[in-house]
Amino acid sequence: MQRYCQLQGIIVGQVIYGDYSAKTFNRPAWQSMLSAFKKKSAATPNYVLFTKWDRFSRNAADAYQMINLLRSYAVEPQAIEQPLDLTLPENKMMLAFYLAAPEVENDRRALNVFHGMRRAKKEGRWMATAPIGYTNKSYEDGRKYIAVNEPMATIMRESFEEIAAGKYSIEQIWKKARREGLTCTRNNSGI
């Protein structure tokens, strides 16, 4: 970025680093920058530069709103690897593509994850950290499964049998499980 600015004769007023997703503009460094623009200091820049439009935003609607907000501060957003002169009507079509493509990619990825998790559940695969009393394992070929983890499994099974019998309070059952060696917190145990 700095080399680009040097080659283009752009004076860099400030470099902002943000290690947040471009799904929203609720990013600390971005919000701090906007606050500075609102104050209308004499050092308000002419440009906000970033590498690509998908680093600016991965939500087209939010991106258009932010572009309008930046322009109200007389600041022009610009992607150095996908430069667009937004005063040209034809470039608005390219902007629409640059902004829509990452959003579509996110939506596709989310749909793939949803369907993958659904398929795994149908196949009987556990999709999270193994519950207390079990442990996550992998076969030599990389397929994953959960295995019984003794003595925790016995402690948990007995605790739930006692809950079902209704003879003792939950607190009494919890204390007994702790004495027998249950090491998780009560919230994690399910008791």
CA distance 50 to 57: 10
Residues with Cβ within 8 Å of residue 32, at least 6 apart in sequence: 16
Task: Give phi and psi for 49, each to the nearest 5.
Answer: -105, 145
Q: What is the 3-state secondary structure (H, E, C) of 46-59?
A: CEEEECCHHHHCCC
- Structure confidence at residue 158 (pLDDT): 93
Residues with Cβ within 8 Å of residue 129, at least 6 apart in sequence: 136
Dump pLDDT digits (tens) for 141-174: 988 888 999 999 999 999 999 999 999 998 899 8
Residues with Cβ within 8 Å of residue 46, at least 6 apart in sequence: 74, 75, 76
DSSP state of 33: H
Higher confidence at residue 126 or residue 113?
113
What does the radius of gyration of the chain's CA atoms come to, in whole angstroms?
A: 27
What pLDDT band is residue 189 in, cutting at 50, 70 and 90?
low
User: Which domains, ranges and CATH numbers included, belong to the chain?
Assistant: 2-122 (3.40.50.1390), 126-191 (no CATH)
CA distance 116 to 15: 40
What pLDDT band is residue 179 in, cutting at 50, 70 and 90?
very high
CA distance 151 to 89: 70
Dump pLDDT digits (tens) for 86-123: 889 999 999 999 999 999 999 999 999 999 989 988 88
Q: How much is the average pLDDT of 51-61?
A: 92
What pLDDT band is residue 190 in, cutting at 50, 70 and 90?
low
Residue recorded with tokens 């470099």: 15
- 45 C-beta neighbours (distance < 10 Å), count: 19
Among 96, 94, 4, residue whose Cα is nearest residue 50 = 4
Q: How much is the average pLDDT of 61-88?
A: 92
